[in-house]
Amino acid sequence: MKRYALILTLVMALAAGFGCAKKTTSEPAYDDGMTPEMRAAIEQITDARVYFAFDKFNIQPEYKDMLKTKADLLKKYSSIRVRIEGNCDERGTQEYNLALGERRARASYEYLVTLGVNPGQLEMISYGKENPAVQGSGEAAWSKNRRDDFRVIAH
């Protein structure tokens, strides 16, 4: 498993090194065809996270309104596709945290689907403990790492 993670890290680092350079000309930015309303919707979908208690994957009541807002936007903009990324804190084994991250992502996925989001607009992935939002040990860091992130992958 560690070998797989190392290979994946190396591939991602190489891919990042071959990225495009930014234009420095005074040409106007590429128009991606998004309306300001769709841009705002994408920002609202990606900005808010769902956080979880230690070793839990149930959606807490304080996140249900936020998920309802995401669901309403996804129903309004049916071309938007979102990847739900389940994450854990650093405690526990890699295998355990990958499974827990999957359950966390699935909890948000299923909640959004029950609110009427087309399942074809959603996908899930678990990063386990490999993608911390905050570095460090202790509850302050751990509580920020037990989360679901929402990434727009198509619009």
**Residue 10 falls inside a structural domain:** no
pLDDT in tens, 71-100: 999 999 999 999 999 999 999 999 999 999
**Residue 28 falls inside a structural domain:** no
**Residue 11 falls inside a structural domain:** no
Q: What is residue 65's predicted lDDT score, i.e. its pLDDT?
A: 98
Number of domains the chain is built from: 1
How far is Cα 47 from Cα 41, in angstroms, rounded to an integer? 10
pLDDT > 70? residue 11: no
pLDDT > 60? residue 9: no
**Residue 9 falls inside a structural domain:** no
How far is Cα 102 from Cα 95, in angstroms, rounded to an integer? 11
Q: Which residue has the tokens 């939002």?
A: 133
Structural domain of residue 143, as residue ranges?
A: 52-155
pLDDT confidence band for 31 (50 / 70 / 90): low
pLDDT > 70? residue 2: no
**CA dihedral for 37, 82, 143, 7, sign (positive or negative):** negative
Mean pLDDT of 22-26: 42
Q: What is residue 29's predicted lDDT score, i.e. its pLDDT?
A: 47
**Residue 3 falls inside a structural domain:** no
| pTM, two decimal places | 0.79
**Residue 140 falls inside a structural domain:** yes
**Residue 74 falls inside a structural domain:** yes
Domain harbouring 119, CATH code: 3.30.1330.60
The share of the chain scoring above pLDDT 70, in percent, equals 79
Q: Which residue would you say has higher pLDDT here, 12 or 87?
A: 87
**Residue 95 falls inside a structural domain:** yes
How far is Cα 70 from Cα 48, in angstroms, rounded to an integer? 9
pLDDT in tens, 33-56: 789 999 999 999 999 999 999 999
pLDDT confidence band for 19 (50 / 70 / 90): very low
